[in-house]
Each structure stands twice: as C-alpha cells, then as structure tokens.
Structure 1
Amino acid sequence: MLEVKNIYCGYNGVHVVKDVSFKVNRGENICIVGPNGCGKSTLLKSISNLISFEGDVILDGKNIKYLKRKELATKVSLMTQNSNILFPYSIFETVALGRYAHLNGLFSKLSKDDEDIINKSLELVGILNIKDKLISELSGGQLQRVFLARAFAQNPDVILLDEPTNHLDLRYQIEILDYLKLWAKENNKIIVAVLHDLNLVQNFADKVLMLKDGSIVNNGDTKEVLNGEDLEKVYGIDIKAFMVKTLRKWN
C-alpha cells in the first residue's frame, strides 16, 4: 500500500499543498485532478521525495524520507512534464537509465535480462524500431514515449506520472493508459497520475483525488467523485453537461 499522510509542501516557505492524505492499494491507480496551480505536480514531487515536505509518505510500511536514494529509485519512478534532454543519448541509452538503480555498481554493465527489459519497454510504447535514434532528433510525442519507456524499464513499485499523455495523439493516449492500468493490476503495482482530460480519467482511474487551492475537495471512487457536485465547484463550469452536449454532436 501507498499511504500519503497529512502532506504540506511548497516553495519558499509557502504551502502549495495543504494537509493532503490518501491511500492506494497495490494493483490500483489513482488520478489527481483539479485546475491549474492547485498543487498536483507539487504533490507528486513530495511523494517522490524530490522536495521537502511535512507529513509522511509510507510505502509498504516504510517511510520514504528514510530510504537511500538508490533504494527509493527501485521503488518509485517519477515522469514529469518537463523531462530535460541533457545529453544527446540514443533512445536505447536513455531508456537504459531506468535500469541503473538495479545494478550493483556505477560501472556495472547491463545484463541480458536488463537489455530484454529495455527492449520490451521500448516495444510497449511503439519505438523499438527507432531505438538507435538520438533523442535530440525526436518530436515531442516520441520523446514522451521514451520517458514512459524509461519508467517501465525502472520497474518500480509506484509510477508517478505528471500528464503522461502530453504530446501524444489520441491512439497512443488510450493505448498507454490501457497498458498502465493492466501493468498495475497484473504486476501488483501502483500508478499515481496527474491528468487534465476527465474523459481519460473516467476510463483509466480506479480512484480520484480532487484538489482545489492545494486542499482536498473530494477523494474516492472515480464515478462518485466525477459525478458529484464538487466538479462544477472546482472547475467553475458544468463539465458533465458540456461532455454530454459534445457527445450528442457525434450522433
């Protein structure tokens, strides 16, 4: 189980996230939703221990605050919206970075099993055929798939995803989220994802955590959270009515 307990965090002494708590069981996923600036990305950074925070994040009984960086990397993977290209690595080399937390030493070589995991991860996101291409030559959508493959190759217990379908066309949005959901259930893993598209959230999420101004507005089963009155209160628009009206135009 992943348990987030009474998290406060932010920047320059100002709390962006305020007293947020939730639980996710293994084999489940949860989507964090809410308007821009409500603290979704900041919350993910605290769960991955990238920024300091008050409160606790417990994974399978262990507090992540006290895990060494390498051990944490075998348990939690974070894919942000702004993954930087620091070096012109090939696609294969970039995805291979996900395996280094599992190696015995800094200069250890990848094993045959490591290479198989990397190639499988590349295949899952549809870029195995271009694995030798430099990442500096890729489109935004291709690059997004590279970083997803790297997260899969890391094989953590928890994958934290900040807008994982950003830059992807509709087909890959659906396929990637379908695979993530299956991956979590079949491998007893946990997905925590920030998504803006509530249609995708309806299809993907087991649970939804809804935030406004850094605080929880609602938290629970997807249908209950997204069908409640809180949706209009948080977004300032009757989203459900808008979705139904749009759907009629397809008929």
Structure 2
Amino acid sequence: MYFGAQNITVSYGNNKVIQDLSLEIKEGLTTAIIGKNGCGKSTLLKALGRLIKYEGQVTFKDENLLKRSNIDIAKIMAILPQSPVAPENITVLDLVSLGRFAHQSMLATNLSKEDYDMVRRVMMETNVWDLRSKKIEDLSGGQRQRVWISMVLAQDSEIILLDEPTTYLDIVHQLEVLSLLRMFAKKLNKTVIYVLHDLNMVARFADEIIAMRDGKIVAQGPVKEVFNENVIKDTYDIRVHIGADSYAETPMIWGVSNG
C-alpha cells in the first residue's frame, strides 16, 4: 500500500472521534475528504499527518511512519492545517522559503539556487510572487491563504495534506488553487489529500472521495462512483438532485432538500 491507515483510533479525552478506521490513499491522485462538521474529517487528516496522537498505524509504502525521523517525514508529506500562524513580521518570501527546510543542510543559512528556484516557481504559479516583500499581516485573507499553500507546495513532498485550503478565497481564487493542486498531482505525481466542504468543487477537482460520518467511512472511491444521491444522503442527511457541470463535464448538485 502506498499511503494509508490501519485500524487507527483517535480520542479526545474519553471521546473516541475515530475508532478502528482503515483506508488506502492512491498515489498520484487527489483525494477529498467530505462530511458534516464534527464527523472527524480534520481529525483524520491530522492523524495521517502525525499532528495528533493515535492508536494503530499510518504507513507509507508499507512502512510505519512512526519509525521515520521528522526530517524524513517532511520530505514525504507537507501539511497545511486550518489556522496556521506565521511568525511576527515575516515577509511572504521568507514564509514560503520555510517550506524548503527539509532540503537544506543543518548549517545552511541561505537558500541554495535550487531552493530559490523552487520557491520562485511555486510563487509564480500561485500568483503571490509580486507580494514577496510584503509582511504576512498586511495581506488580505485570500492572499494569506495562497501564501500558505505556496509554502506547502515549495516543500516538494510526495504527499500534500490540506485542511480546507480554499478558506477565505472567492470563487475565482478557489478555482485557481484547486486547479493548481490538481496540476501538481498530475504533472509532478503528487498525492494530494484535502478536506473540502464545497461538494461541487470536490466533484470537479478530486479524483477520489472519502465520505465520513461519525468517525467512520461511509464510502470511498472514484468521484464517478461515490458522488451520488445515496452516498450524499447517508453522509449529510439531505436529498440532492445531481446533474452535470456543463463546463467541466463532471457531476454537479443541482438541487438540495433537507426533507
């Protein structure tokens, strides 16, 4: 198995948010985790990224990740949580450059040419290069989110995990960011896993879906198999009518009812 979890359990105090959950993530694809608020989506993402304690195993290429060093983990996966906090007075360029830490020697004080080229390339593609001299606190919410995503992409890890990466973004920038993440997955063979609330964006940009409810997986598989009325009803307790996106030729929710 490329990447996934075997029988993981995550508890907050006496509350087991995830219990005995197993899943497999396919290499080079974009996987979206969906479900109601509080169903365990973000908890699962944090467990996969080793940000929280868990029982069971998270594995990469059939090896338990607990056996790997933090530097090795940083080369394998990059993680963007929901509400990252930037160091005070840091510039956009310096924050994105932090994504290269796993590729630098312990004695390095400046970016190598290779590191700088990677940072610049990513920032150009995410449209934040012109902001490189600005302080993070001076940016709008949407600009700040694109800078954080740039930092994660600059890490150039095999696996990219993002918790609600389109937060604060308008529809134009949502399309840009999700297109960019899909491009990284396809052209550079990156494995992208994100939590996303907008189901139509999930259907348009993801390859696979993991639908969760009450800390368990309701369904997992390709969008064309999982994005249907029955799975959405079982996941959200709502009825939907699904048609087709006339631009992307992907499934699209046309109507919703809570009855």
Band of TM-score, shorter chain: over 0.9
Greater shift after overlay, 57-66 or 155-164? 57-66
| CA distances 1:207-238 after superposition (whole Å, capped 9, x unpaired) | 11111111111111212212141211221211
5 Å-filtered alignment, 1:1-251, equals 1-105=2-106, 107-240=108-241, 243-245=253-255
Which residue identity is paired with 2:254?
A: V
- How many angstroms apart in 2 are the aligned matches of 1:245 and 1:220? 23
Q: Does structure 2 retain, via aligned residues, the 8 Å contact 1:8–1:18?
A: yes
| Unpaired runs of at least 5, structure 2 | 243-251
- State the 1:107 CA deviation: 4.1
| SS at 1:133 equivalent | coil
| SS at 1:89 equivalent | coil
| CA distances 1:81-139 after superposition (whole Å, capped 9, x unpaired) | 10113322000000000001111105442101111111111111111011000001111
- How many angstroms apart in 1 are the aligned matches of 2:67 and 2:193? 21
- State the 1:20 CA deviation: 2.1
Normalising by the residue count of structure 2, what TM-score does the alignment of the two structures yield? 0.90
- State the 1:17 CA deviation: 1.3
Q: Does structure 1 retain, via aligned residues, the 8 Å contact 2:93–2:133?
A: yes
| SS at 2:23 equivalent | strand
| CA distances 1:30-80 after superposition (whole Å, capped 9, x unpaired) | 110000001111111111111111121111232211111111111111111
Distance 1:228 1:7, change over 3 A: farther
- How many angstroms apart in 2 are the aligned matches of 1:211 and 1:236? 12
Q: Does structure 2 retain, via aligned residues, the 8 Å contact 1:30–1:191?
A: yes
Q: Does structure 1 retain, via aligned residues, the 8 Å contact 2:229–2:240?
A: no
- How many angstroms apart in 1 are the aligned matches of 2:11 and 2:157? 25
Q: Does structure 1 retain, via aligned residues, the 8 Å contact 2:166–2:174?
A: yes
The count of corresponding residues between Structure 1 and Structure 2 is: 246
Q: Does structure 1 retain, via aligned residues, the 8 Å contact 2:4–2:48?
A: no
Q: Percent of aligned pairs with the same residue?
A: 36
- State the 1:164 CA deviation: 0.5
Greater shift after overlay, 7-16 or 136-145? 7-16
Which residue identity is paired with 2:127?
A: G
Greater shift after overlay, 98-107 or 202-211? 98-107
Which residue identity is paired with 2:198?
A: D
**Counterpart for residue 249 of structure 1:** none
Which residue identity is paired with 2:24?
A: K
| SS at 2:36 equivalent | coil
Q: Does structure 2 retain, via aligned residues, the 8 Å contact 1:26–1:184?
A: no
Q: Does structure 2 retain, via aligned residues, the 8 Å contact 1:9–1:15?
A: yes
Q: Does structure 1 retain, via aligned residues, the 8 Å contact 2:35–2:235?
A: yes
Q: Does structure 2 retain, via aligned residues, the 8 Å contact 1:75–1:158?
A: yes
- State the 1:8 CA deviation: 1.0
